[in-house]
Amino acid sequence: MKRLLAWLLWLWMCAVLYGAFHYAPLAKGFIGESSRILFFHVPMAWVSFTGFIAAAVWSARYLWGGRQERHDRAAAVAIELGMIYGVLATVTGAIWAKIMWGAYWNWDPRQTSILISLLFYGAYLALRGAVEDRDTRGRLSAAYALIGLVVTPFLFWIMPRIMFTLHPEPVVNVQGKVEIESRMWQVLMASAVGFTALFFWTHNLACRLQALSERRAALRK
């Protein structure tokens, strides 16, 4: 069953690639084919956000759900993956910025806000690495990840909307409306679904792998 789902995801992503490069039209006002990066950049940023919020949820479950190690592990892995997707969103955004604005980095509010969120969660990983006692590490990092419930929505959704930015209007604009060509919207949504599924698949694998290595380390002791 799991194998079948994995193959379905592969097919789905192949369809997304076809949609992104052939089916969807080019957006107006963009240089060349640069608007096609939207179908990867936006879902990556979305999955990064999802990872950080999911980490806060698992952290809450760790703190108030009987301090189960698997919740602490799930939160840490979600943040690690969220950071990977965040870096990918930043890199794809920088490539696009080079084409459209002439420079990879412009300190635009969008770029700055994602950089701050990456630093915020980088500090989370540093915190985890600095505390040896498992219970203390779990409690402290869970509390820190919960702060992310306030920080992350502010950095991803609010800050870029209240400051002047050169970044194209978000998919859901300030008026709360979606103003995007319908084929582009279909591909974007399909891509977001695919990347979200990929996130949860890799999350599952990473958690199981970590549990195995922890068990092995415990057996060695």
Residue labelled with tokens 């949860």: 200
Contact between 33 and other proteins per CB under 8 A: yes
163, 179, 208, 214: which one binds other proteins (CB under 8 A)? 208
Dig out the tokens for 82 from the structure: 């969220």
User: In 3-state terms, what secondary structure has residue 172?
Assistant: strand
Q: What gap in Å lies between CA 96 and CA 194, rounded to an integer? A: 22
Report residue 124 CA to chain centroid gap. 16
Tokens at 156, concatenated: 């991803």
With b meaning 16 or more CB within 10 Å and e meaning fewer, what string describes 154-172? Answer: ebbeebbeeeebebeeebe
Select from 9, 60, 125, 131 the one that contacts other proteins (CB under 8 A): 9
In the list 1, 4, 22, 107, the residue contacting other proteins (rule: CB under 8 A) is 22
Size of the site for other proteins (CB under 8 A): 22
- Site for other proteins contains 209 (CB under 8 A): yes
- Which listed residue (162, 178, 212, 214) binds other proteins by CB under 8 A? 212
C-alpha to C-alpha distance for 1 and 9, rounded to whole angstroms: 12
Q: Is 28 in the site for other proteins (CB under 8 A)?
A: no
Minimum distance of other proteins from residue 104's CB (angstroms): 18
Select the span of 18-26, 67-75, 136-144, 165-173 touching other proteins (CB under 8 A): 18-26
Select 2 or 220, whichever has its Cβ closest to other proteins: 2
Distance separating alpha carbons of residues 80 and 128, to the nearest angstrom = 12
Question: Residue type at 24?
Answer: A
CA dist 156 and 151 (Å) reads 9
Contact set for other proteins, span 109-138 (CB under 8 A): none
Counting contacts by CB under 8 A, is residue 13 touching other proteins?
A: yes
Residue 11 to residues 5, 6, 17, 85, 93, Cα–Cα distance (Å): 10, 9, 10, 21, 26
Judged by CB under 8 A, the residue of 4, 29, 32, 221 near other proteins is 32
Based on the shown chain and the rule CB under 8 A, indicate whether residue 8 belongs to the binding site for other proteins. Answer: no
Which residues in the 145-204 window bind other proteins by CB under 8 A? Answer: 201-202
- Residues binding other proteins (CB under 8 A): 2-3, 6, 9-10, 13-14, 17-18, 20-22, 32-33, 36, 201-202, 205, 208-209, 212, 215
